[in-house]
Amino acid sequence: MVKGRLEAFSDGVLAIIITIMVLELKVPHGDDLSALGPLLPVFLSYVLSFIFVGIYWSNHHHLLHAVRHVNGSILWANLHLLFWLSLVPFVTGWMGENHFAAVPTATYGVVLLMAGVAYYLLERAIIAREGRESVLAIAVGRDWKGKLSPVLYLIAIPLAFASRAAAGAIYVLVALIWLIPDRRIERVLPEPRAADGAAAAPPR
């Protein structure tokens, strides 16, 4: 089974997810700046979710880059991840339109947590196929971000009922942690370009 279509399909789904979120920014009827006021929380939640989906795309990109063989488990683990990410526009809109109310803010965390779990399962499926000695297995073993994020979500979800600001701050913190470029896999691969360069075709 060829990896190219898995990447192409995932890119397509992620591109649509990241773009349809903007449809929740409903064009207001007024034509002055005050008309934009009620949209501010929707806009802020859009920015946050844009960054999260961007992080997933970037990490997915790295993860799949290390894959050599695709099997049925990897394919379905990938679809499972895309399923949870497909709910991000819904929870983003719900959280934004309700000005970060407790339940929507907690639900947002639940979807992020489930996406994190799905990403972990995808990593496991790939390592099961590639072998415990693979570059990926070594890189993932050191993945402190991947281990910390679900812990932070698990703190933020109940916290949303006590302090929505604190829960929101944790989501922003997780995003910031990941925005620092993910060099896990790059670091283990000593010369990624050399490995690519060995192939007949140019990297394009």
Using CA atoms, how far residue 144 sits from 40, 111, 174, in Å, is: 33, 20, 12
**Alpha-carbon distance 100 to 114, whole Å?**
20
Q: Which is nearer to a second copy, 75 or 138 (CB)?
A: 75
Q: Report, in Å, the least distance between residue 173 CB and a second copy.
A: 18
Q: Report, in Å, the least distance between residue 34 CB and a second copy.
A: 9
Q: Which is nearer to a second copy, 29 or 190 (CB)?
A: 29
Residues in CB range of 185: below 8 A, 6 or more apart? 62, 63, 65, 66, 135, 136, 139
Q: Report, in Å, the least distance between residue 123 CB and a second copy.
A: 18
Q: Report, in Å, the least distance between residue 66 CB and a second copy.
A: 11
Q: Which is nearer to a second copy, 151 or 175 (CB)?
A: 175
Q: Which is nearer to a second copy, 21 or 127 (CB)?
A: 21
